[in-house]
Structures are given as C-alpha cells and as structure tokens.
Structure 1
Amino acid sequence: MSQQTRGDRAFDWINYALLAIVLLIVLYPLVFVLSASISNPQAVNSGQMWLLPKDITFLGYEKVFQNNEILTGYLNTIMYTILGTSINLVMTILAAYPLSRRDLVGRNVVMALFVVTMFFSGGLIPSYLLVKNLGMLNTVWALIIPGAVSFWNIIIMRTFFQQSIPNEIQEAAAIDGTTDFQLLLKIILPLSMPILAVMTLFYSVGHWNSYFNALIYLTDQNKFPLQLVLRSILVQNTMSEMAGSSTSMTDQVLLTQTIKYSVIVVANLPVLMLYPFLQKYFTKGVMIGAIKG
C-alpha cells in the first residue's frame, strides 16, 4: 500500500470530524428522548436533565401500558405488518420474476405501463371512491390492497434476478423438465434470500410507520394502527386523560410531557432495535436498485 500524503491524512481527519458531528446531531435527540422518558418530569422541565437520566422513574411507561388504545394499536400494527408484508412479497415476486425472463413476450410494454404508475395516479378522491365501491372501507383490506405492490421494489427484485441468477441455471432446469412454478419455488427463491430480506425490511418498515391510509379509510378505533393512535394522542393532546385527575395541575402537565416521551420510545423502539442488525440488507437493497439492467 502506498504511503498517505499529508493532504490525504488531512482529508481523512476532516471526514472523521464531519461524520462525528453528523453522528452527534442524529444521536442526541434519540438519547434525550429515551432519557427524558425515564427521568423525573421536573428535572426535564427545568433543564437539569440534558443527556443522561435523572431521578429515574418509569411512571410514564406505566401510564402508556395502562392505555388500552395503545395496546390495541400495537396488536393491530403487528397484524397489518405481517399480513401486508406477506402479500407485498408474493405480489412483487409474481411481477418481478416474469419481467426478468428474456422469453417473456411484450415485457418492455408491461414495464412501460408500470412506469406510468410511478408518475401518475388518480389522486386521493378517486382512490377513496374506488376503495368505497369495492366495499373495503373500515376494513383491514383498505390498508393492505391499495399498496399491495411497489413498482420501485419490482425493479429492484427484477434487477436482482437478472444480475445475480445465471440464465444457464434456468435453461438447465427447463431441460430437466422443471415447470416455471417449480423453477421459481425450488431454484430461484432459495437463491434469492438476500433480496427477499431486503424486500421484507422495506415493506415491513413501511407498514409499521404507515398511518395516512388508516386516517382516510378507517373509522373504527378498534382497528386503528399504532401510529394513528399515537397521532391522536400527540396531536389532539389527550395526554391529560392518561395522566389522570388525581394529581395537581402542575404535576399533571409535567407527567403529560413524560408520557409523550414514553409514547415516542414505545412506538419506535422495535425498529431502532432491529435496524442495526439488518443494516447490511438495507445497503444491499440500495446497491441493487442502483444497477438496473
């Protein structure tokens, strides 16, 4: 390896310094919210707690988990995420694999039609009327079916099939008498675990954070996902009800702030815990999507 010049070392140190600054900017709000959720509300409000927890208390989390709406929203979000991601994967595979085959007649025309959907849509009102006419209003399917597939993810998966799986394998399987579905299930999918992991992460994170479709299509609060429940709590300021009326007005306001921090942690902790272990799959997905053949 060639020896680094003084300019190279200075460039590296500047990069390290900039990355450290970005890390602090991103990390500090996360640490602050986590610390504030388990700190004494008076210490947080007075500014005594600015990084590490002070006078640790879990009263905010007790109030959060005593709220039946949050627990119901948690269960609903888990169900929507599992069901929605499963349908997303099936639909994406069934669209991407045929489009990756060279022997598919008219695949360029189909791709062109799909591309149109990336730039043009009917809009909110026609989408609402369509969901209504299909009888899906206030049902689980209103959150699943309209977003059952993403064309961008189809492009990523199709590119993986074209770039990572040799066409000779498919030709050999065809010579052995393998049908198209057998080829897909027994050969293509076992070789495609990285892209399947990428798609699972993309779709599941999208379902976990989604609230707009639920806001438009759902009216039954028992079917609300977690994010919509949290929106109603944070935006409509229903924290005072969770804090209770047995305390003084000042203590109630302080406890309300603690509950807000606790709610934020409860909503985001699963994704924050999962992402560091699966970051490499996100990176791989970005790299695959950047090479479209």
Structure 2
Amino acid sequence: MLSASVSDPKAVIEGRMWLLPIHPTSVGYEKILHNREVLIGYRNTILYTVIGTAINLAMTVFAAFPLSRRDFAGRGVMTAFLVFTMFFGGGLIPTYLLVRDLHMIDTLWALVIPNAVSVYNIIIMRTFFQTGIPHELQEAASIDGCGNLQTLRKIVLPLSMPIIAVMVLFYSVGHWNSYFNALIYLSDRHKFPLQLFLREILVKGEMDEMLQGGAAMIGQDQQILDAEAIKYAIVIVANLPILLLYPFLQKYFVKGVMIGAIKG
C-alpha cells in the first residue's frame, strides 16, 4: 500500500508495481495536503480520539475497580447487569431519539458519550485487577490509611500500565476508525471526522474538489490516474497515527491481553 501510494498510478493499475515503487511520485499526497476538508477531518478525528479515549479510560477504570474489590457488596449483581447490556440493546432508533433529546446532535458529544464505556473492556480490566494485583497489597494500603481513591491512584494504577495501554489502544483505534456515528449524528461538514471524507473518496468516488484547478486542462485518463494515487495515499495518511502508536504499546499490549483474558 505504501509503495502504491508513491508509485506511478498507471503502473499500479496495470499491475506492474509489485513490492518496490515504480517511477516515484508524490501527486497523491500533494493533492491531499491541498484539500482543506481532508485536513479538517484529520484535525477532528484527532480531537475526537483524544477526548473519547480519555472518557473511555476514566469510565472503564472507575467501573472495573469497584467490581474487582472483594468488599464491594452486590458486585455480582452489578456485573450481571452490565453483562446483560451486551446481549440486549435499545437499537439505533431509540438511541438516536435519546441523543436528540439530550441536544447532542451535530456536536462532539454525540460521538463520545453514547460509546463512553465498553462492558467487554470493563470485564478485562476487572479481571486484571483481580489477578494481577494482590489483594493483600490493597489491604495493606487500607491499613496505612489509604481510602479507595488513594488506593486506586497510588497502588492500583501504577501497577496497571499493561492493561491501561491495552485499553488506550483498543479505544483509540475504535474512535479513529469510527464513521457510522458521525454519519448518523453529524451534518456539519466542518465537524466530519477523517473517516467520512475517506468514505466519500473510496466508496462514493467524490474526487471533484481534489482535482479542481487542473481538471479543465487535463484529460479524463489523467483524472482517473490522480484519483487512484489519492486513494492509496489517503489510506496511508489515515492509518499512519495508529501505525506509529502501536510499537510503543506493543510490549504492554501482549502482557495485558494475556493477563486480562486468559485468567478471566
């Protein structure tokens, strides 16, 4: 994909590009960088991902920590209630009506509040707290005078970096790739995430704005070639942040998933 994004589009279409770039060109990236809507979408997606992941992480920690405590009365009932929501939901129409009644249509909150927490991730983090952090350590902190929030902040969270890294990766990838909620709840193009613009380019083929300026002077064949270059380039641009994030979290990712899932 990377080689195709910097290769001659004609060579890519004809199948002559196999692994290494052929006749390198940056036409796809040039047109992306000169397209204002793509840059707006990139900015919006970063904003939605950062805010959404922060909310997701906070909600998950504050739900998983009490459920992992042996002294929390009714934790079994609460866990069953949460698991119930994994099998039964209101559906799209009731959810949309609720978001509308809360006046969140066409706002940032429509993208981050309805998906503020994942029960699956709560269970993974709860299991990590139960199996990865000795209960005796929390009891010792309690004897020393730590309250629940102090225990969470000073004891549990510093020892939970693997599972926190996993949650950050899970939630951030989900927000970065999400387009359906934006498609449903947003109408202002200035608030569109990158994925909606990517959808227009890859699925609907709306290339007019990227090809403005020279469209009258070039032939139809050249427009097709430029469109092909843009498709590959924008896929690379859209996935680059996640590709850069994963290597830094990889060592935590494997450990966190193994501890959080297998022992559950």
d(CA) in 1 for partners of 2:146, 2:15 = 69
Cα RMSD for the two superposed structures: 1.4
The more displaced of 47-56 and 63-72 is 47-56
Distance of 2:135 and 2:144 partners within structure 1: 15
> Per-residue deviation at 1:265?
1.0
AA paired with 2:243? L
Aligned to 1:38: 6
Q: Is the 8 A contact 1:92 1:153 kept in 2?
A: yes
Structure 2: gaps spanning 5 or more residues: none
- 2:104 is paired with a residue whose SS is coil
Deviation at 1:185, TM superposition (A): 1.0
Q: Distance in 1 between matches of 2:161 and 2:15?
A: 49
Paired residues of 1:159 and 1:291 also in contact (CA < 8 A): no
1:134 matched to 2:105? The reply is: no
Alpha-carbon distance in 2 for matches of 1:158, 1:108: 12
Give, in angstroms, the shift of residue 292 of structure 1: 4.8
Write out per-residue CA displacement over residues 91-115 of structure 1, whole angstroms, 9 at most, x where no aligned residue.
0011000000001111100000001
After superposition, give the CA deviation of every residue in 1:49-94 in whole Å (9 maximum; x if it has no partner): 2221111110110001111111011111111111011111110011
1:154 maps to which residue?
122
**2:258 alignment counterpart:** 287
1:52 correspondence with 2:20: yes
The 1:276/1:173 distance shift into structure 2, 3 A limit, reads: closer
Q: Identify the range of structure 1 (154-163 vs 277-286) with the bigger mean alpha-carbon deviation.
A: 277-286
Distance 2:187 2:92 in 1: 17
Residue 174 (structure 1) aligned with residue 174 (structure 2): no
Partner of residue 200 from structure 2, selected from 229, 232, 256 = 232
1:166-194 deviation line (CA, Å, top 9, x unaligned): 11111111112211111111111111111
For the pair 1:252 / 2:223, whether they are aligned, the reply is yes
SS across alignment from 1:242: coil
Alignment partners' CA distance in 2, 1:289 and 1:154: 10
Structure 1 moving runs of 4+ over 6 Å: none
Amino acid of the residue matched to residue 68 of structure 1?
R
Distance 1:159 1:103 in 2: 16
Cα distance in structure 1, aligned partners of 2:256 and 2:179: 24
Q: 1: CA distance between counterparts of 2:151 and 2:19? A: 55
- Verify the 8 A CA contact 2:127 2:261 in the aligned structure 1: no
CA distance in 2, matches of 1:172, 1:285: 25
Residue 211 of structure 1 and its aligned partner are, at CA, apart by: 0.7
Separation (CA, whole Å) in 1 of partners of 2:201 and 2:194:
11
> Do structure 1's residue 108 and structure 2's residue 71 form an aligned pair?
no
CA separation in 2, counterparts of 1:200 and 1:47? 39
* 1:176-255 mapped onto 2 (5 Å cutoff): 176-244=144-212, 245=215, 246-255=217-226
Paired amino acid for 2:122? I
CA contact (8 A) 1:76 1:226 kept: yes
Map 1:17-36; keep pairs closer than 5 Å.
33-36=1-4
Task: Give the 3 Å change call, closer, same or farther, for CA 209–292 of structure 1 in structure 2.
Answer: same
**Take 2:249 and 2:161, find their aligned partners in 1: how far apart are those partners?**
13
Give me the whole-angstrom Cα distance separating, in 1, the residues matched to 2:155 and 2:190: 42
Kindly report which structure 2 residues correspond to 1:63-74, keeping only aligned pairs within 5 A, or say none.
Answer: 63-74=31-42
Query: 2:235 corresponds to which residue?
Result: 264
Q: TM-score, normalised by structure 1?
A: 0.85
Asked if 2 retains the 8 angstrom alpha-carbon contact of 1:240 and 1:252, the reply is no
Whole-angstrom distance in 2 between the partners of 1:291 and 1:74:
37
- SS of the equivalent of 2:160 reads helix
Matched-pair contact (CA < 8 Å) for 1:240–1:256: no
Q: Based on CA coordinates, which of the two structures has the bigger radius of gyration?
A: 1
Q: Which SS does the other structure have where 1:189 is aligned? A: helix
> How far apart are 1:286 and its partner, in Å?
2.7
Partner of 1:165: 133
Query: Which residue type is aligned with residue 121 of structure 2?
Result: N
